[in-house]
Amino acid sequence: MTTTEQRRPMIEADGLSKFYGPFAAAREVNFSVLQGELVAFLGPNGAGKSTTMKMLTGYIAPSEGEARIAGHNMMDDRIEGSRHLGYLPESGPLYMEMTPSGMLDFFAEARGLVGAKKRDRVEAVVEICDLSSVMYKPISKLSKGFKQRVGMSQALLHDPDVLILDEPTAGLDPNQIRGVRKTMRKLAETKTILLSTHILQEVEAMANRVVMINEGRLVYDGDVQGLREHGNDDLDQAFHQLTQFDA
């Protein structure tokens, strides 16, 4: 295992801001995720998590600042950066009328995977995401948990070393959450992961580092224990302390 000093930053938010007219959805957000880290991106609803993630993935352009994945600027060098990146957006991209089999086929070809390589990668993600029982059902008919896993399989198809996952457990029941967490822990053995959540238990269960935003601003970057100390050893209290003020 390499030391923290030797690990390279794989996800970098460098002064990221996003303005919608006079409203700032994100303001000068700075943080980086080092190779092999699993970091929780925490904040209340509307804090700017999805907006920041969309800038990090190159899905939207920052008003100010730079987003880099594996060192690639996601505005100037998005194609190279995207080779390293799997992104699970908050909703989709799922094609409801397709089956998981058809959708994976479609995305594999879109990513230039063909022949044996395509077959191997599809087989791998079906196994990781445990999709074999639903491969030929329309996605629209699947449970929310399975829909989430289908979304995850798409993000993993090109075997990226960086994952940005926007609320991967939102709206799932406890059994489904357990399944997604198990998959994520397995993935964390080999990948760099940033996952957003507004659920505190998620942070404790999954990550040892937390980046927290409120009203578009970074309010905490550190370990879970340090966050707890903000609230007299109580995570709920710490969350409240760090998010109650109006910036």
Ligand X SMILES: Nc1ncnc2c1ncn2[C@@H]1O[C@H](COP(=O)(O)OP(=O)(O)OP(=O)(O)O)[C@@H](O)[C@H]1O
Give contact residues for ligand X (rule: CB under 6 A).
Answer: 20, 25, 43, 45-51, 90, 198
Q: CA of 167: how far to CAs of 42, 44, 118, in Å?
A: 10, 12, 28
In this structure, which amino acid lies at residue 115? G
90 vs 161 by CB, closer to ligand X? 90
51 vs 82 by CB, closer to ligand X? 51
Tokens 């980086």 map to which residue? 32
Instruction: Report the C-alpha gap between 127 and 101 in whole angstroms.
Output: 13
45 vs 225 by CB, closer to ligand X? 45
Min separation Cβ 21 and ligand X, Å: 8
Min separation Cβ 238 and ligand X, Å: 18
Min separation Cβ 114 and ligand X, Å: 36
- In contact, 227 and 40? CB cutoff 8 Å: no
Min separation Cβ 127 and ligand X, Å: 30
72 vs 198 by CB, closer to ligand X? 198
Helices 115-128, 100-110: crossing angle, 10 deg rounding: 130
Instruction: Report the C-alpha gap between 205 and 49 in whole angstroms.
Output: 19
User: Strand pairing of 72-73 and 64-69?
Assistant: antiparallel
